[in-house]
Structure 1
Amino acid sequence: MIKEEFTENRRLKSERLQADLVVTGGGLSGTCCAITAARAGIKVLLVQDRPVLGGNSSSEVRLWVLGATSHMGNNNRWAREGGVIDEILVENTYRNPEGNPIIFDTVVLDKVVNEPNITLLLNTAVIAVNKKDPDTIESLTAFCSQNSTQYTLVAPLFCDASGDGIVGFLSGAAFRMGAESKEEFGEKFAPSAEYGELLGHSLYFYSKDTGKPVKFIPPTYALQDITQIPRYKRFTAKEHGCQLWWIEYGGRLDTVHDTEKIKWELWKVIYGVWNYIKNSGNFPEAETLTLEWVGQIPGKRESRRFEGDYILKQQDIVEQRTHQDAIAFGGWSIDLHPADGVFSEKPGCNQWHAKGLYQIPYRCLYSRTIKNLFLAGRIISVSHVAFGSSRVMGTSAYIGQAVGMAAAICQAKQLLPRDLSKAPHLYELQNALLKTGQHIPGLILRDEKDLTRKAQINTSSELLLQELPMDGPLLPLDASAAQLIPLLPGNVPELRIHAIASQATELNVELRISSRVDNHTPDVTLEKQAISLNAGLNCIPLHFTAQIEQPCYAFLCLMKNPNVSLHYSQKRVTGLLSVFNKTNPAVSNYGKQTPPEDIGIDEFEFWCPQRRPEGHNFALKINPGIRVFSAQNVSNGIARPTSQPNTWVADFHDPQPTLILEWSSPQTISKIDLTFDADYDHPMETVLMSHPENRMPFCIRHYRLLNDTGQVVFEKEDNYQTRNSFTLDNPITTKRLIFQAEAPGEHIPAALFEIRCYS
């Protein structure tokens, strides 16, 4: 028993914790930052003011994770973010293809608690910043409401990934809130005061069918007049969760300090909407539905943005400007919302896409005024317009990974964040990120310690792309369709397709490429042909006179013709895709982007893949065949398709796909990194949407590694992850390392992006 007499006052229990890096904020950005730093060997304190990790992606908010892939609704091919966030998304798809938000919570938490270098503090809010001098943080004070403990968190380096920037704010770091004028940065898309300067918060709800009539009596605070919401007729009994992202409010208020006020207004809206659905009589299908869940905390979009040594702008995104200090990429549209949210007469968002990925510079990821403060997530150094793109969770997590690696290098070399912005430390950071799967557009990994670079590489086979057989579906050409074909400089090979015409007609064919070699927007037409078809089956040879000047993807475009059906193939190959000029209104894709004049946005067409099990490749013959799947690709420093597939692919008929590294003298190998194809083009939305497979069909599931005597030194079964990185229990000394794999499917050949070996 504890019994205490009266005392004038008491102190909270207190603990002092010390680490190399303190990360404030356990959303995906802070989580990926902490995991990356911990794996790089430094001690991390991860401080989260909520009971779960994941931020807006957690079961508390339930927004799906998206980034550059944009629901497969833009022209960013093979653009899912890599590294830790890819690992999390692939793991979630494997465990949770149904999109259960509770399961996603466990996936994220698992990744953190399995890192011995991370100390996790949940339900713990930072309440004070203690400084060594005006521009240096010494420690944070935090309070956990669940154990009534006050913490002092001490470290040489701090990362603010808290969303509202609590550490940056309390430390006095320079920040912005609201929109810049068009004149400040020359951003033509900067919003007017009438549109509003801030994006609001959202709350979601889930319903379920009980199988019996359910009545609903609204709370007294529910919105009584649903017509106050200009888009009230858009509500249906079917939409739920983050499909209702446009239930938004708060852009005219202080999105930090007015959050509770905003939440109450959103509750009013949600319960008013549900009252309308249940009791208006307009939704008889809702008779047996009940509310299963309503969000308790709003999903925040925008508040403070802190100033770094560089502020990312609209032009960086649209023009895809290059930066010497690039450490990540973005690719979501510039997505701004009217400040009045659900009460606005305007559309719920304005999404304008770039033609491809854009680089994010390292100079945006640290405070220009606080020397030891990193920035991660949505609070990085960007303008309001650029924020419209960089704010989404896939991109934010990717940025967090870059910060985590930067912090590890700073700690190892006793540097401050700004010190890494220039050579030689910058190159060390970029290479370290590339080695962990962080694709950075335009950069190639050159790792002098990688023994693969010194090896002669041989294989049992290499795919010579001559034919995709006519064994798949026959589908009408009710929208223009294109096959992406990786070509090398020189003549375009003869291409042969098969189509059935319901009557004599003319098929228009175009050969296109992208104006930027790493883009996948077919905005340059090299040649057009009009092909006369007879009724019935037509075997169509296509001869093009155009010359290919550099390695790139060409688009064989067959323009819409309802009288024509096209033969497709069951064969699927890493780095090959068909795309279609269809629409995806969820991301403002209406087949063609046609922006208003003088807002600094490009006009172009959208050509996007279809989700499996659809999206077959064209049945196609190529003469001469294309040799782009060489074994040498596994050491070319690029581990995903860009302007070429960048992968070794075995022949379709190879019974035991094998790749052999051979050295002139014995090498001691203790660590091996492998990168497989877990389909970077699939968005892997984390909640609400389900996925047709829990393992990506291109990913090698069973492989083994052997030494020069044929002894198995490592074997993996049931693989589904993109990256396999492992240290051998006992280092081996060998002149040969043999990689043997099983093809992942009957119609899918084995493929490997990368193998790296270290002593």
Structure 2
Amino acid sequence: MKIFPHSEVRTFPTQHLHCDLLVAGGGLAGLCAALAAARDGLQVVMIQDRPVPGGNASSEVRLWANGATSHMGNNNRWAREGGIMGQIMEENLWRNKEGNPVMFDLVLLDLAKSQSGLTLLLNTAVYEVEKEQQHITRIKAFNPINETFYSVNAAQFCDATGDGVLGFLAGAEYREGAEDAQELGEKMAPGEHFGHKLGHSIYFYTKQTDGPVNFVPPSFALQDITAIPRYKRLTSTLNGCDLWWLEWGGRLDTVHESEEIKWELWKIVWGVWDHIKNSGNFPEAANMTIEWVGAIPGKRESRRFLGDHLLCQQDIIDQRDHYDAVAYGGWSIDLHPADGVYSTHDGCRQFHSKGTYTIPFRSLYSRSLDNLFLTGRLISASHVAFGSARVMCTCGLLGEVVGRAAALCKTEHLTPRELAEPAHIGLLQQQLQVNGCYIPRRWLHDPACGAEVSASSEYQLTELPASGRWHALTGRMALLLPVQAGEPLPDISLFLRAKTPQTLTVSLLGSARAGNFTPDYQYEECVLQVSGEAWHTLSFRWQSERDQYLFIAFEAQDAIEIALTDMHLPGMMTVFNSLNVRVAKHTRQVVDGDYGVDEFDFWLPRRHPQKIMPALRLSLPLTAWSVQNVLNGRLRPEQQTNGWTPDANDPTPEIVWRWAAPRQIHQLTLVQDNDFDNAMESVQMGHHYAVTPHCITHYRLWAGDKLLAEVRDNHHSVCQHRFPEPLAALSVRLEILATAGALPAVYSLNVR
């Protein structure tokens, strides 16, 4: 029993905390920043103003996380984000391939709570900042659930709040809206008619019931469905993010008028549901009910802060490689009309680059303050560039960058601006890659610290046997084939059939830019006469001047079928000149104006388990899976496969790293194949596999005769082993005991 006498006033208690890094915001960007910094030895406090982490990917909003893979709807092959963001997506696939948003919350909460050095404050909002000159010293925050104030002192700060709460309160320079086209030369810069900001969306779930369900709309529901110009696109089968275009608020202040935007979106959602249930146009909806409607809008755009580089359209479309490249993006430049659902424009205007683009570190800190990192959707970018970099997996990747940067700033006694200098930025680029963060067209220097390497076997491609299955060439199809500089292209034999004599044209295509998978050139062409069922040989008298992937491209010829194999190889795939309606309107990027972008064909893979590979024979072995690949520091297929794969008949595949003298080892990081092309959308969209087929699921690591680790049920591409006490070893051996069903590939063993 507690009895409290009358008093004049009372105050809530205050907790005082001290840390190396304060992360404001617990979306995917903030969470990845906090995890990375803690893993690199910092004491971290992460403040999130909501009950769960995840931001727009959480069960509160339920938007699927996506990134450079763009739903596998563009030409960015093997582009899924690595590092911690990749770990999150792979862990969610393992635990939650059905896409349950509540389970995604659990994955994120588990990662945060199990991380030593990370203090998590949920339901807590930052409301005040203290600083000395241009140096932030302390923040104050409040949790209304436990009625507690927090005062947190830190050496460094990271704003991952989306709206830039920390930067705003600290007085950092920022922008809202779109730049004029003349300022940065951005031809995609929107005019007043299209509008200068993206709005919010609210999502909802429906479900079928056993009997009719009545629906009485609330008084504030939209009365006239024709107020939505695209209302005829509504169907009873659309659900969740299929109606992302129920968007509004781009003409308003998307920070201070968020509540007004939310009420308008509720009006829209309930009006749409009233139309579906009660208009009589959807009789199949009689037994449907709404299971969930978001109480929090998914916010796209508000403040963008200024760093030492302003990412712009040309950075993306021209794929500029910055000296301080630390991350990458690959989503289209995806701009929405400011009037959202009430606009007569299409719901979005999307233009893709021909491949991934890099993001410089100079865009990830405030130029106004000397200890404020920026990450997520508030980074230093123009409105146009923001249209691509804003998506959540890209934001998560940027979060890991600033978390590891903060650790380096502490150990090296640098400010973020000093870390960005050419003399220092390599420290961060190498640290990111050591931990499995791929950076396009960059590589890790000496990943195994001078080791020599050998393997029990190496895969060499001479034949992919026919399985008895066939594929009709109803659309253009291409085999992505890795070729090495100076080596002759082998003759390629394919098993084809046609009921009547047919002609098939096969082209040899290539990309202008190293590492791209958009064909710009046609090198050669071969015409085959197909009749009956027989092997046919392609002979291209051509030799590449550089390492690259070629397209062996078959024209559409639906009277011809090609034999398929059941074998699938890491670093090779079949793609199709096809359409993904989620991210494009045509099988080719069509430019209907002077927007400063290119027209090109989309060549898309298929999702598991619909992937196919043609049966084939080669006149010369293709030796693209050499064990020496694990020393080149390239962490996934790009200009080459870049991985070691054992022979398919090797019963006990293993690879050994050897040093001339004992090596002190603190950490081993194994980077291996978990299908970096597979889009692992986090929620709503289900997936066929819980772990992709090439992944090494059971392995052992040995130092001489000493077992360092045995891992079962592995489902991660980046597997880290840290040792409390450094060990001295003359060799490290990886023993592969099982995969998820296909041949494995090892890209690197990073030794530190």
Confirm or deny a common fold (TM above 0.5): yes
Q: How far apart are residue 744 of structure 1 and its match?
A: 1.9
- Report what 2:12 is aligned to: 12
- Report what 1:308 is aligned to: 307
- Report what 2:747 is aligned to: 753
Q: Is the 8 A contact 2:435 2:669 kept in 1?
A: no
Q: How far apart are residue 444 of structure 1 and its match?
A: 1.0
The CA deviation string for residues 507-547 of structure 1, in whole angstroms up to 9 with x for no partner, is: 1110011111100111211112222222x213110111222
* 1:686 correspondence with 2:682: yes
Q: Is the 8 A contact 2:88 2:108 kept in 1?
A: yes
Alignment of 1:276-425 (within 5 A): 276-425=275-424
Q: How far apart are residue 138 of structure 1 and its match?
A: 1.4
Alignment of 1:626-705 (within 5 A): 626-705=622-701
Give the direction of change, closer, same or farther, for the CA distance of 1:472–1:190 in structure 2 (3 Å limit). farther
* 1:533 correspondence with 2:500: no
* 1:522 correspondence with 2:516: no
From 688, 693, 711, give the equivalent of 1:716.
711
- Report what 1:578 is aligned to: 574
- Report what 1:161 is aligned to: 160
Q: Which amino acid aligns with 1:754?
A: S
Q: Is the 8 A contact 1:595 1:603 kept in 2?
A: yes
Secondary structure of 1:515's match?
Answer: coil
The CA deviation string for residues 737-756 of structure 1, in whole angstroms up to 9 with x for no partner, is: 2221135255x223211113
Q: Which amino acid aligns with 1:149?
A: T
How far apart, CA to CA, are the structure 1 residues paired with 2:498 and 2:569? Answer: 28
How far apart, CA to CA, are the structure 1 residues paired with 2:58 and 2:729? Answer: 47
Q: How far apart are residue 728 of structure 1 and its match?
A: 4.2
How far apart, CA to CA, are the structure 1 residues paired with 2:132 and 2:275? Answer: 56
From 485, 506, 509, give the equivalent of 2:506.
509
Q: Which amino acid aligns with 1:682?
A: N
From 488, 494, 499, give the equivalent of 2:496.
499
How far apart, CA to CA, are the structure 1 residues paired with 2:187 and 2:592? Answer: 11
- Report what 2:65 is aligned to: 65
Say which is worse superposed, 713-722 or 733-742, in terms of deviation: 733-742
Say which is worse superposed, 686-695 or 465-474, in terms of deviation: 465-474
From 719, 736, 739, give the equivalent of 1:744.
739
Q: Is the 8 A contact 2:443 2:635 kept in 1?
A: no
Q: Is the 8 A contact 2:692 2:740 kept in 1?
A: no
How far apart, CA to CA, are the structure 1 residues paired with 2:102 and 2:732? Answer: 42
How far apart, CA to CA, are the structure 1 residues paired with 2:15 and 2:662? Answer: 53
How far apart, CA to CA, are the structure 2 residues paired with 1:745 and 1:332? Answer: 29
Say which is worse superposed, 107-116 or 7-16, in terms of deviation: 7-16
Q: Which amino acid aligns with 1:581?
A: N
Q: How far apart are residue 322 of structure 1 and its match?
A: 1.3
- Report what 2:109 is aligned to: 109
Q: TM-score, normalised by structure 1?
A: 0.97
- Report what 1:119 is aligned to: 119
- Report what 1:552 is aligned to: 548
Q: How far apart are residue 718 of structure 1 and its match?
A: 1.2
From 599, 606, 609, give the equivalent of 1:603.
599
- Report what 2:34 is aligned to: 34
How far apart, CA to CA, are the structure 2 residues paired with 1:732 and 1:313? Answer: 47
The CA deviation string for residues 562-597 of structure 1, in whole angstroms up to 9 with x for no partner, is: 111111211111101100001111101511011124
- Report what 1:52 is aligned to: 52
- Report what 2:613 is aligned to: 617
Alignment of 1:164-175 (within 5 A): 164-175=163-174
The CA deviation string for residues 296-355 of structure 1, in whole angstroms up to 9 with x for no partner, is: 010000001001011001000000011101110000000000111011111100010000
Secondary structure of 2:90's match?
Answer: helix
Q: Is the 8 A contact 1:657 1:750 kept in 2?
A: no
- Report what 1:727 is aligned to: 722
Q: Which amino acid aligns with 1:126?
A: V
How far apart, CA to CA, are the structure 2 residues paired with 1:254 and 1:664? Answer: 64
Q: Is the 8 A contact 1:204 1:294 kept in 2?
A: yes
How far apart, CA to CA, are the structure 2 residues paired with 1:186 and 1:708? Answer: 59
Secondary structure of 1:659's match?
Answer: strand
Alignment of 1:430-449 (within 5 A): 430-447=429-446
Secondary structure of 2:99's match?
Answer: coil
Q: How far apart are residue 2 of structure 1 and its match?
A: 3.7
Q: Which amino acid aligns with 2:642?
A: N
How far apart, CA to CA, are the structure 2 residues paired with 1:176 and 1:472? Answer: 60
Secondary structure of 1:592's match?
Answer: coil
Q: Is the 8 A contact 1:523 1:605 kept in 2?
A: no
Q: Which amino acid aligns with 2:526?
A: Q
Q: Which amino acid aligns with 2:126?
A: V
Q: How far apart are residue 224 of structure 1 and its match?
A: 1.2
Secondary structure of 1:727's match?
Answer: strand
Q: Is the 8 A contact 1:472 1:570 kept in 2?
A: no
Say which is worse superposed, 588-597 or 721-730, in terms of deviation: 721-730
Give the direction of change, closer, same or farther, for the CA distance of 1:472–1:77 in structure 2 (3 Å limit). farther
The CA deviation string for residues 156-211 of structure 1, in whole angstroms up to 9 with x for no partner, is: 11111000101111111111100001100000110010000000000000011121
Q: How far apart are residue 467 of structure 1 and its match?
A: 1.3
Give the direction of change, closer, same or farther, for the CA distance of 1:544–1:167 in structure 2 (3 Å limit). same
Q: Is the 8 A contact 1:633 1:753 kept in 2?
A: yes
Secondary structure of 2:696's match?
Answer: coil
Say which is worse superposed, 281-290 or 117-126, in terms of deviation: 281-290
How far apart, CA to CA, are the structure 2 residues paired with 1:136 and 1:457? Answer: 48
* 1:84 correspondence with 2:84: yes
Give the direction of change, closer, same or farther, for the CA distance of 1:726–1:43 in structure 2 (3 Å limit). same
Q: Which amino acid aligns with 1:462?
A: E
- Report what 2:96 is aligned to: 96
How far apart, CA to CA, are the structure 2 residues paired with 1:473 and 1:68? Answer: 32
Q: Is the 8 A contact 1:635 1:756 kept in 2?
A: no
Give the direction of change, closer, same or farther, for the CA distance of 1:666–1:16 in structure 2 (3 Å limit). closer
Give the direction of change, closer, same or farther, for the CA distance of 1:733–1:472 in structure 2 (3 Å limit). farther
How far apart, CA to CA, are the structure 2 residues paired with 1:734 and 1:108? Answer: 36
Q: Is the 8 A contact 1:126 1:140 kept in 2?
A: yes
Q: Which amino acid aligns with 2:273?
A: W
How far apart, CA to CA, are the structure 1 residues paired with 2:370 and 2:657? Answer: 46
How far apart, CA to CA, are the structure 2 residues paired with 1:204 and 1:472? Answer: 45
The CA deviation string for residues 435-467 of structure 1, in whole angstroms up to 9 with x for no partner, is: 1111111211115xx5x3422211111011111
Q: Which amino acid aligns with 2:137?
A: E
Q: How far apart are residue 734 of structure 1 and its match?
A: 4.0
Give the direction of change, closer, same or farther, for the CA distance of 1:708–1:156 in structure 2 (3 Å limit). closer
Secondary structure of 2:682's match?
Answer: coil
Q: How far apart are residue 271 of structure 1 and its match?
A: 0.7
Q: Which runs of 5+ in 2 are unaligned?
A: none
Secondary structure of 1:52's match?
Answer: coil
How far apart, CA to CA, are the structure 2 residues paired with 1:99 and 1:442? Answer: 32
Q: How far apart are residue 58 of structure 1 and its match?
A: 0.2
Q: How far apart are residue 698 of structure 1 and its match?
A: 0.4
How far apart, CA to CA, are the structure 1 residues paired with 2:56 and 2:643? Answer: 35
- Report what 1:249 is aligned to: 248
- Report what 2:189 is aligned to: 190
How far apart, CA to CA, are the structure 2 residues paired with 1:474 and 1:300? Answer: 46
